[in-house]
């Protein structure tokens, strides 16, 4: 036998379960209720880990035999353990850069408290900085069931500039913010946006996305940024926040004003230093109308899909380019502002999209496409089908993001092209507004999840945090399992509501399968990656309203403890204080506990 064949054979033998189980564990978690989410939904008591992977699961007595003097033992105290949550659509790279600057209203239950937080933060914000609330909340989460007024925001913030973003519908600037940005009666409306004026022609402070969010993106981009060191700390804080919620992996979907490669320096550095605590495959998002083809032409020739600083190093978590999207051409942006009519896409869209997609498909680059409305999906599919006749997809990985109103006919077309869907809990935040515009009947199948699953289309669950919805995946699990908005309105048809196990699989195995990574994750079974969370409550049996309050007590990524609450504090290093000192994170944290 040739030496290469002998080595390959030995490696195969050593990978067999017998040899894997004969290893000593570096970490054992025992006295737990471990939902493996395997095909039989097996529940076990304990789990042994070595080299970032699961050695074995089973009874406490069996697993504890795999310990040695160096094994870390964690008594889960009867708590539920689940596979780490995998968010298929979130903006963690951009969100991390700004997290320390943001006052989060996510999870706040009264407008009175939200305004009190705003006032308190304004009092500690230094001159030259802003108070900013950047999405992740809506009126219906508040007991008052209403939005703040500009008068209330001005009273709370005084002479400290403030920017308050409500989803991707509109934003409020206080008087100090209007002055700081030099907006006056002569300021024109940007393309696709409205600067509201009063009867005298003076700006009120209301910025309206009409029909797209460029006015909101661009205004945010004018606010002061953190220093490089502060951005590193901010990204670490945000990863810890996601670990606190049981998240171990996120597919980053790019985002407006997130330029490649300039705005990836922080996460590049964290990866090189082995400081990432979230697996983070990312997609490259075109930023400038008219330059999309040039950008993608440059990227496909200089960026290797699947290659990053994590290559050939099992001690590091994934961080690499995964493909193109979610924005491929600006003319295809059908923003999800259900307060306003559906935007009509430009007649030039098809030609522009075809140029970019033809390049990507020829170069075998995976892609994802933002698509809220069925009308947009129809036009996008026309382009994809046309290209497929000339340059067959041949199994190339691709999927639509969002797809709230996708039709059965278009689902059949997606299935025929071997596409997938990344869905999010945006309707938990916009369900009431959707019903006001399109009616209750249309809302019942937004998203038509039963049809998607029946047709065998790959689907992964995500949040679309941090702006158009909260980054908290437990909001998504509440939405999937109750059919309710955050305001408590049940709008979803019963056939689309998922049982708790099925919902969790969409947020674990489903997201991994969406990008062909399901072979070693999404289930807590031997040889799979050791990514999991010990939960604060029994997700499978707790009353439905308490799902919203679930978080992780201890989170493990790649076999290492990356987050632990007070009960398990000895197993994780302390989280450093947020910088700068005035950061809202030091005083309020992220998603609010109630």
Report pTM. 0.95
**For residue 64, what is the domain's CATH number?**
2.30.40.10
> For all residues of the chain together, what is the average pLDDT?
95
Please give the pLDDT value at position 594: 56
Q: Quick count: other Cβ atoms within 10 Å of Cβ 1?
A: 8
- Please state, in angstroms and as integers, the Cα–Cα distance from residue 586 to each residue in 102, 346, 575, 579, 583, following that order: 11, 45, 11, 8, 6
Give the H or E element holding residue 10.
Answer: helix 3-14
Q: What is the pLDDT of residue 311?
A: 76
Q: Is pLDDT at 522 greater than 90 in this prediction?
A: yes
Q: What pLDDT digit, counting tens, does each position of 410-456 carry?
A: 999 999 999 999 999 999 999 999 999 999 999 999 999 999 999 99
478 vs 192: CA distance, rounded Å: 34
Task: Please indicate, yes or no, if residue 50 is contained in any of the structural domains.
Answer: yes
Residue 64 lies in domain? 3-78
In a domain, 36, yes or no: yes
Classify residue 153: in a domain, yes or no: no
pLDDT per position as a tens digit, 551-581: 999 999 999 999 999 999 999 988 899 999 9
pLDDT per position as a tens digit, 398-421: 999 999 999 999 999 999 999 999
Model confidence band, residue 314 (pLDDT cutoffs 50, 70, 90): confident
544 is written with which tokens?
A: 């439905």
pLDDT for residue 191: 86
pLDDT at 18 over 50: no
Note whether 538 and 528 are within 8 A (CB). Answer: no
pLDDT band of 4, cuts 50, 70, 90: very low
- Spatial contact of 413 and 385, defined as CB atoms under 8 Å apart: yes
Q: Is 69 exposed, middle or buried (0-12, 13-18, 19+ CB in 10 A)?
A: exposed
Residue 424 lies in a domain: no
415 — alpha (psi -120 to 50), left (phi > 0) or beta? alpha
Q: Judge whether 22 lies within some domain.
A: yes
Residue 53 lies in a domain: yes
pLDDT band, very low/low/confident/very high, at 341 (cuts 50, 70, 90): confident
C-alpha neighbours within 13 Å on the C-beta side of residue 114? 29
Residue 90, classed as helix, strand or coil, is strand
- Looking at the structure of the chain, the number of domains it has is 1
Contacts of 469 (CB under 8 A, 6+ apart): 135, 136, 167, 424, 425, 426, 428, 429, 463, 475
Q: Is the model's pLDDT at 500 over the cut of 60?
A: yes
- Least reliable range by pLDDT among 187-191, 203-207, 446-450, 486-490: 187-191
Residue 46 lies in a domain: yes
**Is 32 a domain residue?**
yes
Q: How far apart are CA 79 and CA 536, in angstroms?
A: 7
State how far the Cα of 228 lies from the Cα of 126, in Å rounded to an integer: 19
Q: How confident is the model at residue 22 (pLDDT cuts 50, 70, 90)?
A: low
């Amino acid at each position: 036998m040739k030496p290469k064949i002998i080595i390959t054979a030995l490696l195969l033998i050593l990978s067999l379960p017998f040899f894997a189980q004969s290893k000593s564990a570096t970490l054992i978690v025992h006295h737990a209720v471990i939902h493996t989410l395997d095909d039989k939904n097996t529940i076990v008591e304990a789990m042994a880990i070595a080299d970032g992977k699961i050695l074995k699961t089973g009874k406490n007595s069996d697993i504890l035999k795999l310990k040695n003097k160096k094994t870390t033992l964690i008594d889960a105290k009867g708590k539920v353990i689940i596979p780490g949550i995998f968010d298929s659509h979130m903006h963690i790279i951009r969100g991390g850069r700004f997290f320390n600057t943001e006052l989060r209203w996510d999870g706040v239950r009264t407008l009175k408290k939200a305004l009190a937080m705003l006032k308190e933060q304004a009092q500690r914000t230094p001159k030259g900085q802003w108070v900013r609330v950047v999405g992740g909340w809506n009126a219906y989460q508040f007991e008052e069931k209403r939005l703040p007024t500009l008068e209330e925001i001005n009273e709370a913030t005084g002479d400290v500039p403030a920017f308050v973003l409500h989803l991707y519908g509109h934003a409020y600037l206080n008087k100090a913010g209007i002055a700081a940005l030099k907006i006056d009666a002569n300021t024109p409306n940007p393309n696709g946006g409205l600067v509201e004026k009063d009867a005298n022609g003076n700006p009120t402070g209301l910025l309206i996305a009409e029909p797209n969010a460029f006015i909101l993106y661009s205004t945010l981009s004018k606010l002061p940024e953190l220093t490089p060191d502060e951005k590193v700390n901010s990204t670490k804080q945000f990863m810890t926040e996601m670990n606190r919620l049981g998240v171990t992996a996120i597919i980053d979907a790019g985002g407006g004003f997130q330029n490649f490669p300039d705005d990836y320096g922080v996460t590049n550095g964290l990866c090189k230093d082995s400081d990432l605590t979230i697996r983070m495959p990312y997609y490259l998002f075109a930023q400038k109308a008219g330059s999309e083809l040039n950008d993608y032409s440059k990227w496909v020739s200089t960026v290797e899909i699947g290659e990053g600083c994590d290559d050939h190093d099992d001690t590091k978590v994934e961080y690499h380019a995964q493909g193109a999207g979610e924005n491929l051409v600006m003319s295809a942006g059908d923003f999800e502002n259900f307060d306003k009519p559906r935007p009509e896409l430009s007649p030039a869209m098809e030609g522009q999209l075809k140029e970019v997609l033809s390049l990507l498909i020829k170069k075998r680059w995976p892609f994802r496409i933002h698509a809220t409305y069925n009308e947009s999906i129809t036009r996008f599919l026309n382009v994809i089908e046309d290209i497929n006749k000339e340059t067959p997809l041949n199994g190339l990985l691709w999927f639509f993001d969002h797809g709230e109103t996708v039709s059965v006919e278009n689902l059949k077309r997606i299935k025929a092209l071997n596409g997938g869907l990344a869905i999010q809990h945006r309707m938990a935040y916009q369900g009431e507004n959707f019903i006001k515009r399109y009616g209750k009947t249309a809302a019942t199948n937004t998203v038509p999840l039963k049809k998607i699953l029946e047709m065998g289309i790959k689907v992964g669950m995500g949040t679309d945090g941090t702006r158009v919805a909260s980054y908290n995946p437990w909001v998504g699990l509440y939405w999937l399992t109750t059919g309710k908005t955050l305001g408590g309105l049940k709008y979803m048809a019963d056939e689309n509501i998922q049982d708790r196990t099925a919902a969790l699989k969409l947020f674990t195995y489903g997201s991994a399968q969406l990008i062909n990574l399901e072979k070693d994750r999404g289930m807590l079974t031997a040889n799979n990656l050791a990514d999991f969370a010990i939960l604060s409550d029994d997700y499978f049996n707790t009353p439905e309203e308490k799902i919203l309050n679930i978080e992780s007590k201890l989170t493990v990524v790649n076999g290492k403890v990356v987050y632990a609450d007070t009960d398990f504090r000895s197993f994780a290093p302390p989280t450093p204080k947020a910088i700068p000192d005035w950061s809202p994170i030091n005083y309020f944290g992220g998603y609010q506990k109630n």
